[in-house]
Amino acid sequence: MADCIFCKIIAGEIPSSKVYEDEHVLAFLDISQVTPGHTLVIPKEHYRTILDMNAESASHLFAKVPEIANKIMRATGAKGMNIMNNTEEIAGQSVFHTHVHLAPRYSTDDDLNISFVAHEPDFEKLADLAAKIARA
């Protein structure tokens, strides 16, 4: 897409700090660097969100995630890694070209804060929701 910043990076119109590239996938350092080594892995073919991807393109993208994540871990000495995809604005997607964030983690005090609120399980509601999802 002509107005997509990631498509412009793929085309070489905008510079990036590449860490991996093949015919299907490009990985480069995120300019925000939430933590040192924060990398974006993107398909070279434009897909607005991960939900728009076909199985073949998704397999190319996700086959490279562990390889690139392991390289980041080795290079940075990180103790862990958050692997994330934000789909749609409500979930934090700000660039509408599918991308996976690889955010190395160094301590609980680094600049990435993700928290989940635990709820007491209602197994009947969970079963109903699981059945609804399975039928969809």
Is it the case that residue 50 has pLDDT exceeding 80?
Answer: yes
- For 22-47, how does the pLDDT look when each residue is reduced to its tens digit (9 = 90+)? 999 999 999 999 999 999 999 999 99
Strand, helix or coil for residue 58:
helix
Is it the case that residue 2 has pLDDT exceeding 90?
Answer: no
Number of domains comprising the chain? 1
Q: Are the C-beta atoms of residues 45 and 6 closer than 8 Å to each other?
A: no
- CATH code (residue 19): 3.30.428.10
Arithmetic mean of pLDDT, 63-85: 98
Q: Are the C-beta atoms of residues 44 and 86 closer than 8 Å to each other?
A: no
Give the pLDDT of residue 124.
95
Cα 135 from chain centroid (whole Å): 27
Give the pLDDT of residue 114.
87
Is it the case that residue 85 has pLDDT exceeding 90?
Answer: yes
Catalytic residue among 46, 99, 101, 119: 99
Cβ atoms within 10 Å, residue 83: 14
Tell me which DSSP letter residue 104 carries. E
Is it the case that residue 80 has pLDDT exceeding 90?
Answer: yes
- For 51-60, how does the pLDDT look when each residue is reduced to its tens digit (9 = 90+)? 999 999 999 9
Burial class (CB in 10 A: 0-12, 13-18, 19+), 118: exposed
Is 46 a known active-site residue?
no
Handedness of CA 81, 67, 28, 5 (dihedral sign): negative
- For 102-132, how does the pLDDT look when each residue is reduced to its tens digit (9 = 90+)? 999 999 899 888 888 889 999 999 999 999 9
Domain that holds residue 28: 5-134
